[in-house]
């Protein structure tokens, strides 16, 4: 069994300008300010940066950072944290320029999944698969796992009255931000129909050998442990499916209904319809965890955080089962947020319908240090970390070392040292002045920089 996989995480951010009296800029205007320095050095609002990751502004107003290809979860956590840092730097520069233009107020940056206008934006996971795996079977087998996974790794949401059950229902707290926006199970469209898995076949690699699985159902997570569980458990699921490990026949005929039911039921016990019978989110996850334990016992752990993933998986299920989240409320997003809101609710005697709670929910996702509520908990040591903060700081400029991202970063560094314009995507790189010398990187595990050296030492600076 090949033990290595590529992971990547794409995060779309929400931005908002706030001014107590003056005119507030629209999110589109804010995004344009944010990307001005990017356009100045990269000549585009779609660039690859020095750590090998992609930074861009699509149509609309949600800046996106896509981590470089990572071959371990630790690399992924670091590369992802670097994205938040880059966005903070862009915010600081944008505010300076705005103030220079006479526009007062502050820019808020949110790592969440819905704005006040009711539109949703994503947190997309990417997993490398071998082409030979039966893709259709794999995605079908993954859907019930992904539908129930939100009880592990949802980011938590204050739900206003009238949302669930649809058109009615009291205000309450739910596991997931994204669940109510999901419109399909497995489909090739991302924006129009918002599926759980997007099947558009863009492997960003040798298409005869690889596929890229694009999971777009996840919430934007904040805590490193929640990311660890999200990627660690999903990777274990993929390994089990790829190796034909028996997972039982858990086909889910109505995933969009099931995902809503599971999200709005904090007990984890609401029955979700399967093709044969029904199972709750808790039962489904207990089943997958039992299978994963047996799988790891048979095949051994394939990386050094497998035991931690399995333990955390069990701890979260135990918390849901016992309705006691005190064991996970420093590690799992929905539980961290729930504790904060419950404390506030108790102190002020508030009902879930209070607008104060919806504001705190939003403030939880504010990325500003010293202001965003999750950031403050982190700074006060009330949230546990997985990686050394120094590793996250290094990842701002350094690529993950085990993938072609290292080659891309070497190319970008040398091009920028010489102030040469370049064009890069996930699999190719070239200098605009030397359009015939395209470097192709079809194998995401290839870390050889020979072609980059040949280009710069042989073509750009021949001896
Ligand atoms: N071969 C691969 N297998 C798995 N993940 C990959 C592979 N190549 C790149 N990735 C990761 O996939 C993500 C691609 O991000 P990007 O935003 O470009 O996604 P996209 O789906 O191609 O495009 P868009 O968001 O514009 O629709 C990155 O996080 C990257 O690290
Ligand atoms: Mg993207």
Whether residue 22 is contained in a domain is answered as no
CA atoms of 319 and 325, how far apart (whole Å): 5
Whether residue 216 is contained in a domain is answered as no
Closest CA to 73 of 213, 310, 233, 272: 233
- Number of separate domains in the chain: 2
Q: Does 360 contact ligand 1 (Cβ within 6 A)?
A: no
Shared-domain flag, residues 279 and 419: no
Whether residue 60 is contained in a domain is answered as no
Q: Considering Cα of 227, then 231, then 232, then 237, what sign does the dihedral take?
A: positive
Shared-domain flag, residues 263 and 324: yes
Shared-domain flag, residues 226 and 327: yes
Closest CA to 240 of 188, 297, 316: 297
Q: Residue 431: beta bridge partners?
A: 422
Please give the distance, rounded to the nearest whole angstrom, from the Cα atom of residue 10 to the centre of ligand 2. 5
Shared-domain flag, residues 240 and 312: yes
Q: Which residues of 265-294 are buried (b: 16+ CB within 10 A; e: fewer)?
A: bbebebebebeeeebbbbbbbbbbbebbee
Query: Average pLDDT of the chain?
Result: 95
CA atoms of 11 and 439, how far apart (whole Å): 27
Q: H helices of 121-194, where?
A: 135-153
Whether residue 12 is contained in a domain is answered as no
Shared-domain flag, residues 277 and 350: yes
Whether residue 215 is contained in a domain is answered as no
**The pLDDT of residue 1:** 44
Cβ atoms of 217 and 196 within 8 Å: the answer is: yes
Query: Is 334 annotated among the ligand-binding residues?
Result: no
Query: Is 426 annotated among the ligand-binding residues?
Result: yes
**The pLDDT of residue 191:** 62
Whether residue 66 is contained in a domain is answered as no
Closest CA to 88 of 399, 375, 286, 331: 375
274 — alpha (psi -120 to 50), left (phi > 0) or beta? beta
Per run of 10 residues, the mean pLDDT along the chain (length 463 residues) is 85 94 90 93 91 91 96 98 98 96 95 86 95 88 98 97 91 96 84 83 95 96 98 98 94 96 98 97 98 98 97 98 98 98 98 96 98 98 97 98 97 95 96 96 97 94 81
Asked casually if ipTM beats, i.e. exceeds, 0.90, the reply is yes
Give the domain-ending residue among 354, 371, 386. Answer: 354
Cβ atoms of 422 and 260 within 8 Å: the answer is: no
Q: Residue 33: beta bridge partners?
A: none
Query: Is 173 annotated among the ligand-binding residues?
Result: no
Nearest CA, atom 29, ligand 1: 8
Antiparallel, parallel or unpaired: β 7-12 and 184-187: unpaired
**The pLDDT of residue 459:** 87
Give the domain-ending residue among 354, 377, 396. Answer: 354
Please give the distance, rounded to the nearest whole angstrom, from the Cα atom of residue 73 to the centre of ligand 1. 16
- The best mutation among 6, 215, 442 to test binding of ligand 1, ranked by most ligand atoms within 8 Å of the C-beta, falls on 6
Closest CA to 313 of 178, 156, 151: 151
Whether residue 314 is contained in a domain is answered as yes
Q: Does 230 contact ligand 1 (Cβ within 6 A)?
A: no
The residues, any chain, with a CB within 8 Å of residue 352's CB and separated by 6 or more, are 158, 159, 170, 171, 172, 173, 345
Convert the pLDDT of each residue in 141-179 to its tens digit: 999 999 999 999 999 999 999 999 988 899 999 999 999
CA end-to-end span of the chain: 45
**The pLDDT of residue 20:** 84
Shared-domain flag, residues 140 and 259: yes
Shared-domain flag, residues 235 and 305: yes
CA of 126, closest atom in ligand 1:
5
Domain that holds residue 288: 134-177+221-354
Token duo for residue 445: 């595990």
Closest CA to 144 of 234, 220, 73: 234
Q: What is the pTM of this model?
A: 0.97
Catalytic machinery residues = 58
Shared-domain flag, residues 411 and 342: no
The tally of CA atoms less than 13 A away on the side-chain side of residue 26 is 5
CA of 213, closest atom in ligand 1:
4
Shared-domain flag, residues 145 and 252: yes
Cβ atoms of 172 and 260 within 8 Å: the answer is: no
Shared-domain flag, residues 350 and 257: yes
Please give the distance, rounded to the nearest whole angstrom, from the Cα atom of residue 8 to the centre of ligand 1. 7
Shared-domain flag, residues 152 and 234: yes
**The pLDDT of residue 10:** 98
At 192, phi and psi to the nearest 5? Answer: -65, -45
Convert the pLDDT of each residue in 185-220 to its tens digit: 898 876 667 899 998 899 999 999 999 999 999 999
At 55, phi and psi to the nearest 5? Answer: -125, 125
Shared-domain flag, residues 241 and 306: yes
**The pLDDT of residue 2:** 58
Closest CA to 9 of 209, 183, 219, 190: 219
Q: Give the chain's radius of gyration (CA, Å).
A: 22
Q: Does 57 contact ligand 1 (Cβ within 6 A)?
A: no
Whether residue 105 is contained in a domain is answered as no
């Amino acid at each position: 069994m090949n033990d290595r996989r590529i992971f990547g995480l794409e995060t779309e951010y929400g931005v908002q300008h706030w001014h107590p009296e003056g005119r507030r800029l629209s999110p589109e205007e804010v995004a344009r300010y944010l990307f001005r320095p990017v356009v100045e050095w990269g000549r585009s609002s779609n660039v690859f940066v020095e750590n090998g990751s992609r930074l861009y502004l699509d149509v609309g107003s949600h800046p996106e950072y896509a981590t470089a290809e990572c071959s371990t979860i630790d690399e992924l956590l670091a590369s992802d944290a670097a994205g938040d840092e880059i966005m903070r730097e862009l915010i600081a520069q944008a505010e300076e320029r705005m103030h220079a233009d006479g526009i007062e107020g502050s820019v808020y940056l949110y790592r969440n999944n819905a704005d006040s206008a009711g539109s949703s934006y994503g947190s997309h996971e990417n997993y490398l698969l071998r082409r030979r795996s039966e893709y259709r079977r794999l995605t079908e087998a993954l859907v019930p796992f992904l539908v129930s996974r939100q009880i592990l790794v949802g980011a938590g949401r204050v739900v206003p009255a009238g949302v669930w059950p649809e058109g009615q229902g009291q205000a309450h707290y739910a596991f997931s931000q994204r669940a109510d926006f999901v419109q399909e199970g497995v489909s090739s469209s991302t924006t129009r129909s918002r599926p759980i898995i997007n099947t558009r076949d863009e492997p960003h690699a040798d298409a005869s050998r690889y596929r890229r699985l694009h999971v777009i159902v996840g919430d934007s997570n904040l805590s490193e442990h929640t990311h660890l569980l999200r990627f660690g458990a999903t990777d274990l699921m993929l390994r089990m499916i790829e190796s034909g490990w028996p997972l039982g026949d858990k086909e889910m005929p109505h995933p969009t209904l099931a995902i809503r039911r599971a999200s709005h039921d904090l007990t984890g016990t609401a029955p979700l319809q399967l093709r044969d019978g029904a199972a709750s989110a808790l039962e489904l996850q207990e089943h997958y965890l039992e299978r994963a334990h047996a799988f790891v016992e048979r095949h051994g752990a394939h990386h050094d955080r497998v035991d931690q993933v399995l333990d955390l998986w069990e701890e979260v299920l135990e918390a849901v089962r016992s309705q006691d989240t005190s064991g996970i409320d420093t590690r799992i997003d929905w539980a961290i947020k729930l504790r904060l809101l419950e404390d506030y609710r108790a102190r002020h005697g508030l009902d879930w319908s209070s607008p104060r709670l919806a504001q705190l929910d939003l403030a939880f996702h504010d990325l500003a240090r010293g202001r965003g509520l999750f950031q403050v908990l982190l700074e006060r040591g009330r949230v546990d970390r997985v990686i050394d903060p120094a590793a996250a700081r290094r990842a701002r400029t350094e690529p993950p070392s085990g993938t072609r991202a290292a080659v891309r970063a070497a190319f970008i560094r040398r091009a920028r040292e010489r102030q040469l314009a370049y064009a890069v995507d996930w699999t190719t790189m070239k200098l605009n002045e030397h359009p015939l010398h395209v470097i192709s990187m079809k194998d995401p595990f290839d870390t050889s920089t020979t072609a980059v050296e040949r280009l710069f030492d042989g073509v750009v600076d021949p001896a």
